Amino acid sequence: MDSAIDKIHNETTSSTSTASKDSLLQQLKELELFEGSPVTLPYVNSLVAWKIGNLAMDAAQKLQSPVVIDISSISGQVYFHAVSKDGTSIDNDNWVSRKKRTVFRFGKSSYFIGRKLAIKSAGKSVEEALFVDSKEYATHGGSVPIRISNVDGVWGALTVSGLAQQDDHKFALDILMSIKKILEEEG
């Protein structure tokens, strides 16, 4: 996963990228697949949301940089919101709000939407390409949909802010993969 995310990030942000548009679109499809069933949870409730938040906080304590961690349902209810250590600011909270709004609007990770925008609409602003206000929506990595098996749509989002966007994204995906494994083991 890490190399796939790094590869698409580098090739869609580098002015010297030699990757073809077809190659980048294939990488985008692979990212979309990875963000599907590998991180789709068997069920979600308030206790699971709390477990996700605590698992993320434990992992965040090992990071050098502080992060904000947020778990919210698509209805807007916040199930978990915390900072990992001193050093975050209200700006991180604003990024969290904008990133999760992107997930709720488009049903895809904020990172996926950002990479898709970089590939398909290079040179266009978020407003021009997606018809949304960049003050309200962020297409940077860090917010990942929380999906439930056999349920269409998105239940909520796990959002992280404080690292480089691809690292925020990888962190969130790693947490969802870990919690999925825990829930499956619990039966």
Chain segment 62-101, per-residue pLDDT in tens: 999 999 999 999 999 999 999 999 999 999 999 999 999 9
d(CA 132, CA 117): 13
pLDDT at res. 11:
66
29 versus 56: which is more confidently predicted? Answer: 56
Q: How far apart are CA 122 and CA 160, in angstroms?
A: 25
Q: How many domains does the chain have?
A: 1
CA atoms of 21 and 143, how far apart (whole Å): 25
Q: Three-class SS of residue 146?
A: strand
Q: Are 104 and 97 in contact, with CB atoms under 8 Å apart?
A: no
Q: What is the residue whose two structure tokens read 């990071």? A: 63
Bridge partner list, 158: 71, 144
Domain with 45, as residue range(s), is: 2-186
Secondary structure of residue 97 in the 3-state scheme:
helix
Instruction: Classify residue 19 as exposed, middle or buried by CB count within 10 Å of its CB (0-12, 13-18, 19+).
Output: middle
Please give the DSSP secondary-structure letter assigned to residue 65. Answer: S
Q: What is the pLDDT of residue 4?
A: 63
Question: Is it the case that residue 182 has pLDDT exceeding 90?
Answer: yes
The CATH code of the domain that includes 29 is: 3.30.450.150
d(CA 160, CA 149): 23
CB atoms within 10 A of CB 37: 10
- What is the percent of the chain where pLDDT is above 90? 70
Listed residue (78, 72, 80, 9) closest to 51, CA to CA: 80
Residue 16: per-residue pLDDT = 47
The answer, yes or no, to whether residue 170 has pLDDT greater than 50, is yes
Specify the pLDDT at position 5: 67
Q: Which of 107, 114, 121, 177 is nearest to 142 (CA)?
A: 114
